[in-house]
Each structure stands twice: as C-alpha cells, then as structure tokens.
Structure 1
Amino acid sequence: MLMIKGEVAAIETELLRDYKFGQQQLIEIWGQACALAITKAYPLSSLAKKQPTVLVICGPDQNGSIGLVCARHLRMFEYEPTIYHPKRSSHSLHQDFTVQCEKMDIPFLSYLPTEVQLINDAYNLVIDAMLGPEADCANIKEPYSGILVTLKQVKIPIASVDVPSGWDVEEPSQDGINPEVLISLTAPKKCAMSFSGKHFLAGRFLPYDIQKKYELNLPDYPGTDCLIEL
C-alpha cells in the first residue's frame, strides 16, 4: 500500500490526463478531507476550555493549496484558523484559494510567531502544509528551513499533510519534525511506515483501475466516510 515518489507523480498525472480530474477538484477533495481528519483528531469538544485556534502553515506548491482549502473548511466547521503563507504561488488556482480564505475573514500572518509566541498565544494546533512529496528534503531553503527549526521546538501538536515537511518520501525521518497526526493523501507514502502517531488516509475518490494498476490494496472505508484512521 505504500507509495514511492515516482508513483505519486504518475498517479496524479493519470488522474488529470486519463480520468479527466481537474487540479482544482483534487485539491478541494484533499483539503476537505484534511479538515475532516482534524475534526476527528481534535474535536471541538476537546478544545472546549480553549479557543479552537489553528495555525495553518502553507508552502508555495500543491500542499500549500491543500492547506488553504483545509483552513477554509475548518472555518466552516467553527474552528479559528490563521494562515501563515510566506511565499505565495503565482498560479491562478493558488491565488483563487487564497481569495476564498480572505473572503471568509481568515487572518493571514506576515511573520511566523516564535516558539514562545506559539505556546503563549494559544494556538492549539499547527497544520504543516508546507512541503509535499515532490520536495527535495536535502535542499530545503528559507523560509522553510527556518520554520522547520521552530516547529521542532514547539510542544503544541502538529498535524502534517501527506508527508511531514523535512521528511524524505521514501525514508523515515531521523531529524525532521515530529507530528502527532499524519494525513496521507491518495495512499500512504513509504516514509509513513515508521510513523507512530495518529494516521489518517484520504483517498476514497481513487478510481478502481488505478488502485489495481498500482497494487495499492487500500483499506475499506467505513460507511460513507471519505477518510479512514489507519
């Protein structure tokens, strides 16, 4: 069931080219599923004594767009997301997702809070939507290398989208961030084999022919749920 880097790109290419999925459609499916996973891992009731504040850190590529969609859905679910998005993409889709968040009155930060501020300013959760499976973890540049240093030091929970930032897709991390929750998209990546936290999979939309071709052997999803806890 575990995917390597080449399979991730190949499956997405087939979805777009052969199955006529749209990029926006896929990002919307994944982003909503991520928000649902957050509600299962950190239900509002568990945050009742505190404000349900969530800091969503978005990267410049597709994982960042997924983070934007996740933030918008969390806002609809009555969480209080704030977005830190240091390098915005020029891609029109990415810009559209940004506008959608702005129209929902989700605040955007111009700087990353320090580890002290992250603890004291009552963010209850950080969502890591920075570096996806296509990232070169051996060559992470600023501002993301600095953000990772901060995230390694904070004690509040981190939930990572698809691949924890700083991890190699195919290798367990020795020195990366240590998320409490991982939300795998489509199918788990090889690096997730060593992940010991709460692990969700969002991939119920995947056509059966693709599942069979890549021998993904995905689990049976319960009822009508679009994600499953592994």
Structure 2
Amino acid sequence: MVTTLKTLGPQAAADLDGDLMSESGGFSLDQLMELAGLSVSQAVYKVHPPSAGKRVLLACGPGNNGGDGLVAARHLYFYGYTPTVYYPKPTQKPIFEGLQKQLKNLHIKFDNESKFEDLAKDTDLIVDALFGFSFKPPVREPFDEAIKVMESGVKPVLAVDTPSSWHVEDGPQNEGIGSKYMPDYLISLTAAKPNVGHFKGKKHFIGGRFLGEDVAKKYSLNIPEYQGVDQIVEVPVDVRVEKL
C-alpha cells in the first residue's frame, strides 16, 4: 500500500527525461511518447470502458504532452472507441507530423474549427493533453476556451501528467482561468509531479512501465508494482506527497 508518493519537480523531471534519452539511457523521444500514450489509453480504459460511451475527445497541445494524446488516440481507436482530436496548434516536427498521419490514415477525426464547448457536449470523456510539466501560467489563446469548458465539469476529464493550467509545483491558480479546474482523473507519467498534492479527483494513476532500477535509485523513486501486462498503477488520491 502506497503511503507516501514521491514527486519530481520540473527540473528533476526534465533531467530524468534527459537521462533516459542519453547515449547510456538508449531511449528516443518517440519511444517515450509511445509508451506514455499507451499508458494514457489504458487509464482511459480503466475509468471509462467503451461500454460506458465510445466517444472520446482528446485535447492536444503543441508540446510532448500533446504528442502523448495523439498516441493515445491511436490506441483508443483500436480498443473500439471513437476518438476526436482537438489540435489547434499542430507542431511541425517529424515525430508529430507522423503521429497526425497515422491518425488521419485511420480516418480519426480532427476538429479545430468547432467550438470546444460544442465538441465537449458531443463526447463521453475528455482527455486533457494540452500542457505538461513545463507549462507556466497564464493560459493563452487558443487554449483558454478548452480550459474553461473542462473547468465547467460538462463532461468527465482525464488529465495527462498534470492538469492543464496548473502550476507544476503550486497547483491551480488562485484566480482566473483554471482556478477551479479539477479533473476527475489524473495519470502521472513516469512519476507524479508536486501539484498532485492539490488533486482531489476520483482516481490517480502512475503510468510508464519502463523505468529501470538504476534510474529510479538516482532520483529516489519507488517503481510501482505493475500487475500482469498493465502499463499503469492506481495510487490513493489522498496519499502524502513528498517532493524530491
């Protein structure tokens, strides 16, 4: 039973990614993104199986967090969901362009023209993959509308790594867009971030079954006890948080 959740601040999280993608680490960015997106898709399946509604709206930002959302959309399609991707600022880099081509080849819908509010009303679950741990407030266009809609609670939301608009260490802002945003579900990738101490949703998962003991020891992390072929582990929402 997890009693203390060790968390990584933005610099430590960036350093860990750097170690994984170093010559000795051996991972590439697209490998880590694939593993992260697979974890996100499994979290969706856990909290909202297709029998509960197949329509999933993935709100993807321009960074790696958005890439995780694009990967998750592909996996969700093959699980039997009907994903729709909201990607208002596509990243023009080979990895991201490849992910978009993969989805379009599967005829997965991209909708950047409709109001996010209308897209949300026509879905069963929203995946918040707008911003990752490097985000710094405030929220700017064109993402402000999406944050407002998710904040309203019109549909359940699964946030990827950190709830968008939250400060990675301090949590939600005191006022303005996102100040009352509380996603229903959260999946932390590789390790939880310090703002998880402010999370009061229904379920919290750790995802990313690729961390070796040597790297975990370097960053004083405990590797979760993954079961079977699962890429995610549920941890208590009210667990004590320790920042490393």
TM-score, normalised to structure 2, is 0.87
SS of equivalent to 2:26 = coil
Which residue matches 1:31?
Answer: 37
Alignment CA distance shift 1:192-1:127 (3 Å) = same
Counterpart residue identity of residue 145, structure 2: G
Which whole-Å CA distance do the structure 1 matches of 2:67 and 2:129 have between them? 8
Contact 2:76 2:82 in 1 (8 A): yes
Which whole-Å CA distance do the structure 1 matches of 2:46 and 2:57 have between them? 17
Which residue matches 2:128?
Answer: 128
Which whole-Å CA distance do the structure 2 matches of 1:209 and 1:176 have between them? 39
Counterpart mapping for 1:66-81 below 5 A = 66-81=68-83
Counterpart mapping for 1:174-185 below 5 A = 174=173, 175-185=179-189
Alignment CA distance shift 1:3-1:92 (3 Å) = same
Which whole-Å CA distance do the structure 2 matches of 1:13 and 1:72 have between them? 26
Counterpart mapping for 1:41-80 below 5 A = 41-47=47-53, 52-80=54-82
Alignment CA distance shift 1:116-1:106 (3 Å) = closer
Contact 1:33 1:202 in 2 (8 A): yes
Counterpart mapping for 1:59-208 below 5 A = 59-115=61-117, 118-119=120-121, 121=122, 123-136=123-136, 138-174=137-173, 175-197=179-201, 198-208=203-213
Deviation for aligned residue 1:112:
4.3
* CA deviation vs aligned residue, 1:35-62 (integer Å, no higher than 9, x gap): 0110011112233xxxx10111110010
Matched, 1:21 2:20: no
Deviation for aligned residue 1:110:
2.4
Alignment CA distance shift 1:112-1:183 (3 Å) = farther
Deviation for aligned residue 1:99:
0.5
Deviation for aligned residue 1:217:
1.8
Counterpart residue identity of residue 224, structure 2: P
Contact 1:53 1:125 in 2 (8 A): yes
Counterpart residue identity of residue 146, structure 1: E
Contact 2:41 2:76 in 1 (8 A): yes
Contact 1:166 1:176 in 2 (8 A): no
C-alpha RMSD of matched pairs (Å): 1.5
Contact 1:200 1:229 in 2 (8 A): yes
* CA deviation vs aligned residue, 1:85-109 (integer Å, no higher than 9, x gap): 0001011101100100101110000
SS of equivalent to 1:66 = helix
Q: Any gaps of 5 or more consecutive residues in structure 2?
A: 1-5, 174-178, 236-244
Which whole-Å CA distance do the structure 2 matches of 1:60 and 1:176 have between them? 24
Contact 1:112 1:147 in 2 (8 A): no
SS of equivalent to 1:94 = helix
Which whole-Å CA distance do the structure 2 matches of 1:56 and 1:112 have between them? 14
Alignment CA distance shift 1:84-1:114 (3 Å) = closer
Q: Any gaps of 5 or more consecutive residues in structure 1?
A: none
SS of equivalent to 2:148 = helix
Which whole-Å CA distance do the structure 2 matches of 1:129 and 1:74 have between them? 14
Deviates more, 1:165-174 or 1:87-96: 165-174
Q: How high is the sequence identity, in percent, across the aligned residues? A: 35
